[in-house]
Amino acid sequence: MSAMLKISANPDMIARRALGVLRFVDAATGQSITDGLSVIARVRNRAISAVPSASGVYIFHQLPGLSLVSFWDGETKPEPEPQSYEFNIEVRDTSRRFFPVAFNTTFTDWPEAKLICNDVSSPINKIPLFSVPWRLQRYDYAIIRGTLRLHSSDEPAAWALLRVFHESDDVATATPVIEGVAGADGSFLLMYPWPQDYPMALTGPTGARWSMRILAWYDVPDAQIPEDELPDGDKRLPALCSILKQRRAILLAESNSSTELPPQEMIPGQTVLLKTSQIPPVTPEEKILYLETT
């Protein structure tokens, strides 16, 4: 397919359009991430990097199958080329704040692509990135930590999804206060602003407290990229859609029963360390939280 490029009547106009636009948000703060990310689209044995823009998005140029709509005369909106490709997107944080992740998209909705995950209730047009356990903490944020392991095998519950709700929320319909994931070794950090709209419970001199429910989803998420297709020394990345569509699991309050972890009391300025009660007791350094799949 070929097309004649029509010259704009306005010689000062830069007749160039963005082909693929992705917006990434910090799951902890809800803010767009505009720096420190390596965003690569892989298709047809090519690796194409996105560049950050001043508007808070990452933009791809000259993606295969979409080059025709990159140039236009500034007057008539061109139609997309009939041939399109599915792009495998890899996201890594060079500043080591977020876990890496991968997903697929066809960039069918211009100018801002929507990531459609099968078995996920709604489309995603803001790609969430989840905090790593060693991320620098914000002391004005609530902090929940732990290491998540499978009760049946004592293996790390890698890439398990965790969500925090107010104790009174209907989990089936409520929007979680925060989402996070456990890393390959099972360790996790949930960090979120103190809920300003949640009623304070004042208990004597200790001040404000919140009661929060921490829930988990786990179903052995897939790795997105085959290892033999990655650059030398690189690692397989977890698939974002696979993480988000996991099944509900149970966080155990006790290792010798199926008792679910109860709501946790949050006190401003104090980190909550989640663990399962065990016999014999664990040492203070071993904050292990066991998960039972359903």
Task: Give per-residue pLDDT as tens, 243-252.
Answer: 988 999 999 9
Question: Which parts of the chain sit beneath pLDDT 70?
Answer: 1-19, 65-84, 108-116, 118-125, 195-208, 220-235, 279-286
| Fold of the CATH domain 20-129 | Immunoglobulin-like (2.60.40)
How high is the pLDDT of residue 121? Answer: 57
Instruction: Tell me the three-class secondary structure of the chain, residue by residue.
Output: CCCCCCCCCCCCCCCECCCEEECEEECCCCCECCCCEEEEEEECCEEEECEECCCCCEEECCCCCCHHHHECCCCCCCCCCCCCCCEEEEEEECCCCECCEEEEECCCCCCCCCECCCCCCCCECCEEECECCCCCCCCCEEEEEEEEEECCCCCECCCCEEEEEECCCCCCCCCCCEEEECCCCCEEEEEEECCCCCCCCCCHHHCCCEEEEEEEECCCCCECCCHHHCCCCCCCCEEHHHHHCCCEEEEECECCCCCECCCEEECCCCCEECCCECCCCCCCCCCEEEEEEC
Task: Give per-residue pLDDT as tens, 63-90.
Answer: 776 665 555 555 555 555 545 677 889 9
How high is the pLDDT of residue 6? Answer: 44
How high is the pLDDT of residue 7? Answer: 44
How high is the pLDDT of residue 18? Answer: 59
| Sequence spans of domains, the chain | 20-129, 141-293
